[in-house]
Copies of this chain bind each other. A is one copy, B any other.
Amino acid sequence: MFDKYNKVQQAVLETTLRIIIQRELQATSMALIAKESGVSTGNIYHYFQSKEDIVNELYKGIVTFNGEYVIQGLNQKGTIRERFNWGWEKVIELSKKYPEGFLFIEQYSFSPYIYEEVKKEAYSGGWCGPMNKLYAEAIDQQLIIDMQPELMVQMHYGSIVYMVKGHIHGNIEFTEEIARNAIQACWNGISRDIQIAN
């Protein structure tokens, strides 16, 4: 997940991610990160400027990783509808294979702890841009209703996020079949065909 970083940085980032998800940021002390990562505090500061820096680097790293992952789905050859499915399938896959990273981004994308500048970088490097573009195309081709693409993407991302959270923290089932149905529901909610039917 943090390929472009060296061994020490990877250990720190992975450990920090794990602890933040398990115990929250406020309970994530440098001493704990040091202990659990096996890197001394001094050396952590050799590779990171501050605790904030670690968390922001984490954010960047995960956004990039998730972005590349989802964009694989979005950029495959296929119809808009297919690419829609593939994209959100990848998002759901992420939440299953890398739940910590998924939850981290979810929790911190609106946090003041993440620098505005990093959030902007995230937007351009992540999957939100390409997904928005797909929705815009779908509007152009009159496949879906004419709402702000960003809004619809947020809406659908929120749907998935909350199902995932309900699944992880609660006792809500979220099988692959259910996921498929949920993606279907997302499409149906904004599909032109359906508006007529309704």
Residues of B within 8 A of A26 (CB): 25-26, 113
Contacts of A160 in B (CB 8 A): 155, 158
Minimum CB–CB distance from A24 to chain B (whole Å) comes to 6
Return the contact of A189 from the options B22, B166, B169, B188 (Cβ within 8 A).
Answer: B188
How many copies of this chain? 4
Q: Bound complex: CA of A21 vs CA of B38, how far in Å?
A: 34
How many residues on chain A are close to B (CB under 8 Å)? 50
Contact status B159-A156, CB under 8 Å? yes
Listed residue (A107, A173, A185) with the most chain B CB atoms within 10 angstroms of its CB: A185
Can you list, as one digit per residue, whether each of A33-58 has a CB less than 8 Å from chain B (1) or not (0)?
Answer: 00000000000000000000000000
Q: Are A185 and B181 in contact (CB under 8 A)?
A: no
Q: Which of B154, B158, B172, B188 is in CB contact (< 8 Å) with A198?
A: B188
Inter-subunit contact A193/B197 (CB<8 Å): yes
Say yes or no: is A23 at the interface (Cβ < 8 Å to chain B): yes
Q: Add 17 more A-B contacts to A24-B112, A154-B172, A197-B198 (CB < 8 A).
A: A23-B112, A107-B107, A147-B178, A147-B182, A151-B163, A151-B166, A151-B182, A154-B166, A158-B161, A158-B165, A161-B162, A184-B198, A185-B189, A188-B188, A188-B198, A189-B189, A194-B198
